[in-house]
Amino acid sequence: MTTTPRSQDRRRVMHSAASSIAMLLCFALCASILVGVSWSEGESVDMSLRLAVGPTAAPVTSGTVWLLHYGWGRLDSVRLAEIGTEPIRIALTPQRRDSMIPPKLHTEGCVAAIELPGPTWYRTADVSRADLIRDFKTVFWALGEKVEDESGPPTLLLRDHPLRVLRLLDLEGNPVGGKEVEVSVYLTDKNHCGHHHGLRVGTFRTDDLGEVSLHAPLVDLYLDRVRYFEDEGSGPWGRRFSGCEGLRLGPDPVVTLQRAWDLPSLDVSVQVWDSAGEPVREILLGHCLRASECGCNCGTLWQTDQHGVIRASLRPGDTEQIWLSRVSRGAEKDRPLTDDEIRRLFDEGSLTIRLSEED
């Protein structure tokens, strides 16, 4: 068959149109993958239920049902329902769900949670935004056991939380008694400084055995704002430690934590002379601490007296640097102490520094 120029042009047009349609379909598919499932694709939810807890199915008559979602640097909470004597109703239209978790908001995970007095927390496993949209009911009922009732709405039966024990030991294996710890159910620490955002359980104090006992779900817990120090080996003036804050725990019923919970301080003095052998006033002593968390860990806290003497309390274990500066120059590090000078300061408890005319 002979192909005319006009038929060739027609084939080129048809091929070009088909390619354009394929590219548009591919673009639409990629865009849907990038954006994720929209709330409008999920069904409306209208649930009525009662809550009970424990083997006797004791009715729950107070508390709150939450929807939590998090992304980089944020944790947002949405109150779904208040728990009272009447059945709980959770109504979620696509429009309401869109307002709770905007489609354009970068969300890394979602959690359904129930807060009872205490507070006592029940939480689901982390699920994606898409899974929450597709089947909210399945995600929610996973909080406990669904018990049908022919005469009324079903009951969500929550299990009693088991007893969990947190045991704190020092580096020598001795129990750390009398230490206050703030315990939360872990949710997320996805942010620049790794600060935890979770569900607060309460503040407890360790007993003589270094233990805290509490009823909590078998999920990861977190000790908020607890200070401890990681051993980093030997340094120029002894063992080196780095300060840390916050500690994530696993889901085990008994968790033993052996750490350096504190470091010893040493009272020291520094005598400062000028080049002529006269005591120098208005000299600041500053230091930096070795730490793994964000923020400034340096400062000038002490000043020479009328005799040119600085008296300070320092922790050798996490001291990173020590320096002298003039009050008129603020925190500028005019005269850093050498490693040998810092070693002598901590070994002998005192040090004499003679400033040169350039210092």
- Which residue positions in the chain have pLDDT lower than 50? 1-15, 17-18, 20-40
Residues 299, 225, single domain; the answer is no
**Does some domain include residue 98?**
yes
* DSSP calls for 56-80: TTEEP-SEEEEEEEEETTEEEEEEE
3-state helix, strand, coil in the chain (%, to 5): 20, 45, 35
**What residue numbers bound the domain in which 104 lies?**
39-158
Those residues whose C-beta lies under 8 Å from the C-beta of residue 241, and which sit 6 or more positions away, are: 229, 230, 231, 232, 260, 263, 290, 317, 318
**Does some domain include residue 26?**
no
Q: Of 238, 258, 278, at which residue does a domain stop?
A: 258
Residues 43, 154, single domain; the answer is yes
Q: Which residues partner with 313 through β-bridges? A: 267
**Tens of pLDDT, residues 52-106:** 999 999 999 999 999 999 998 889 999 999 999 999 999 988 888 888 888 878 8
What are the φ and ψ backbone dihedral angles of 234, each rounded to 5 degrees? -80, 150
Q: Of 105, 139, 158, at which residue does a domain stop?
A: 158
Residues 86, 136, single domain; the answer is yes
**Does some domain include residue 187?**
yes
Q: What pTM, to 2 d.p., does this model score?
A: 0.81
**Does some domain include residue 25?**
no
Residues 64, 149, single domain; the answer is yes
The C-alpha atoms of residue 243 and residue 241 are separated, in whole angstroms, by 7
Is-cis flag, bond preceding 87, omega within 30?
no
pLDDT of residue 289: 94
Residues 274, 174, single domain; the answer is no
Residues 147, 207, single domain; the answer is no
Residues 153, 47, single domain; the answer is yes
The C-alpha atoms of residue 111 and residue 128 are separated, in whole angstroms, by 9
The C-alpha atoms of residue 327 and residue 211 are separated, in whole angstroms, by 47
Q: Which among 43, 111, 113 is positioned nearest to 83, based on CA atoms?
A: 113
Would you give the DSSP letter of residue 87? P
Pairing of strands 266-273, 350-354: parallel
> Which contacts (CB < 8 Å, 24+ apart) does range 96-102 have?
97/39, 97/42, 97/133, 98/38, 98/39, 98/40, 100/67, 100/69, 101/39, 101/67, 101/69, 101/76, 101/129, 101/132
**Does some domain include residue 16?**
no
The C-alpha atoms of residue 197 and residue 248 are separated, in whole angstroms, by 11
Q: Of 242, 258, 274, at which residue does a domain stop?
A: 258
Residues 278, 348, single domain; the answer is yes
For the domain that residue 311 is a member of, what is the CATH number?
A: 2.60.40.1120
Those residues whose C-beta lies under 8 Å from the C-beta of residue 221, and which sit 6 or more positions away, are: 164, 166, 183, 184, 185, 186, 201, 248, 249, 251, 255
**Does some domain include residue 30?**
no
pLDDT of residue 1: 44
Residues 310, 217, single domain; the answer is no
The position carrying tokens 């004791």 is: 58
**Does some domain include residue 69?**
yes
**Does some domain include residue 6?**
no
Residues 244, 169, single domain; the answer is yes
Residues 237, 128, single domain; the answer is no
Inter-residue contact 121 to 185 (CB < 8 Å): yes
Residues 179, 284, single domain; the answer is no
The number of distinct structural domains making up the chain is: 3
